[in-house]
Chains A and B, each alone.
Chain A
Amino acid sequence: MSRELGDGHRRFLQTLMAVGITDEQEARALYQHCCDTHTMQCIPDKLDDFIEAINSRLQPMFMQIRKGMSEENGRQYYALVNMAETDITRMTSDYADNELELFRKTLDLIVSSENGKASSTDILNSTDTMTSKKLKKSETEHLLTRLVQDNWLCERRGEYTLSTRCIIEMEPYIRTMYQEQVKVCHICHNIAFQCQICENPSCGIKIHNPCVARYFKGRVEPHCPACDDFWPHEIPGTNETSRYQNNVLYLLSPTRRSEVARESTSVLVGLCSCRK
């Protein structure tokens, strides 16, 4: 059912388009701000309804605002994604064919890993088996930097993981491409990369790190929810120790406006060359 949108919806969408992904708290603040700016009613718990209205109008364009959990901090995020079924189309306009091939190889490594990470060494070595034009070492390193900058991958200590935005956007593609190979969290039923696995060989269920923290919180002796065996892994604390890697929502007005403003203040820039 297609719903009528107000300027509040449009401002929300414009802002989300500019930042790409935002966490739940910021999304709520943005919702409030958009409603206030356009004197629309803002019912605190109705953010998802608000987004549903926008989604009903985005659907014909194969776009959606989707929600997903960060594997790093367990928080919920909203991202504007393309809903093409079988391809990584969002990337095809920004990356060459051989670069996309390397990205797919990185994806292979991450899916098949136990810890949801791919080392830069392994990624570099995977260029040996490329079928399209081989990437040199320097080109691969440059590509990886771009992939991090464009918020497809995250890097920490030489290891690469999928960004939250990447997981949200590519979940359908990943499920189709990898099918049984991809891990699924027993608790939240979403695809899982950075997760813990039940050690019982006839069980082997997977649980996201943040889902483990939530599920086993306060329990003296953790047991596998599926087979009841003792859960031997360290239960992550609920304190957020990982760094916030996605865009911070500091722009509540669309980026377009600030760019026009920047151009018009070029006069001032000239004046301010009297530095130091």
Chain B
Amino acid sequence: MTQRKRLSNVQSSSQSKRQSNSFMTQEEDEDATFTQPSTSQVQRGLEKLTAAQVDQKTAEVVQYILVKDQKKIPVRRADLVKHVIKDYRTVYPEIIKRAMQTFEQVFGLKLVEIDSKNHMYVLVNNLDASTARPSNPKMGLLFVILSVIFMKGGVVRENLMWNTLKKLRVDPGYLEYVRVPHTEPVEYEFRWGQRSDMEVSKAQILEFMGQLLEQDPQSWTQQYREAHSTASSSQASSSNHR
């Protein structure tokens, strides 16, 4: 747990923080005074407690985090220590370890620190994502975007994203990507390619968008009209590109 290494410096770093940052809240103060106990301290602490007591406290921590997570509120370590851990501070690392195990083994969730400065945690899904293919349009688009970012080493600038989306296994003719004349710096634009005009049904696109954003396709009146005009519907047969 890399947490432990970081936390052993918490007292000295927070003291300097206190001088420079006058907006520190009371909770951040309490967190700063929480020093991660050493392994031997934890051991001694555990000896004084019964197994049932440790289990009970673990259960309380799990419940607390689940409730916060349900409301999409990240869990602050300071709050956790203050409201739940309380007298069990000396065995905090053990409690957290068991809570993490419970999340993984019972719920298929992972407790991750999203803010190492303020020690905030959230629960993320730990279930094997590879076995679940995109089940709905949202996930389909997400997977495309995530793949792009991943393949580009983790970060993608906006224009690169668009550029790559164009190249990402889109067969020639489906997209038109042309330079806009007289622009400085150079700008490009995307249009539907000829093949898309012929093969992709605009009505289906609207349906896809409707599902993605949970809206009625008819709410996009202009597009809806265009999609259902006789010209476009005669061009596109039913698409199998989804």
Contact = CB atoms under 8 A, between A and B. Distances in A.
Interface of A: 5, 7, 10-11, 13-14, 17, 37-39, 54, 57-58, 60-63, 82, 93, 252-254, 256-262, 264-265, 268-269, 272, 274-276
B221 interface: yes
Contacts of B70: 17
Contact of A262 (B102, B125, B138, B221): B138
Given A14-B107, A253-B132, A262-B138, A272 B59 contact: no
Contact of A61 (B63, B123, B145): B63
Contacts of A272: 209, 213, 220
Nearest to B143: A261
Contacts of A93: 67
A73 B163 CA distance: 55
Contacts of A261: 138-139, 141-142
B108 A265 contact: no
Contact of A265 (B105, B125, B141): B141
A13 B107 contact: yes
B109 interface: yes
Given A14-B107, A57-B106, A272-B213, A7 B125 contact: no
B20 interface: no
A274 B222 contact: yes
B48 to A, nearest CB: 21
B55 A60 contact: yes
Chain B, interface SS category: helix
A261 B107 CA distance: 21
A220 B223 CA distance: 62
Contacts of A14: 107-109, 125, 127
B213 A268 contact: yes
A16 to B, nearest CB: 11
A253 B138 CA distance: 12
Interface of B: 55, 58-59, 62-63, 66-67, 70, 72, 102, 105-109, 123-125, 127-128, 131-132, 135-136, 138-139, 141-142, 145-146, 209, 212-213, 219-223
Contacts of B131: 7, 37-39
A276 B222 contact: yes
A37 B209 CA distance: 26
Contacts of A62: 59, 63
A37 B58 CA distance: 30
Contacts of A265: 138, 141-142, 212-213
Contacts of A253: 132, 135-136, 139
B209 A58 contact: no
A27 B72 CA distance: 25
A248 to B, nearest CB: 14
Contacts of A258: 136, 138-139
A35 to B, nearest CB: 12
12 contacts: A5-B106, A7-B108, A37-B131, A257-B125, A257-B139, A259-B72, A260-B142, A261-B138, A261-B141, A261-B142, A268-B209, A272-B220
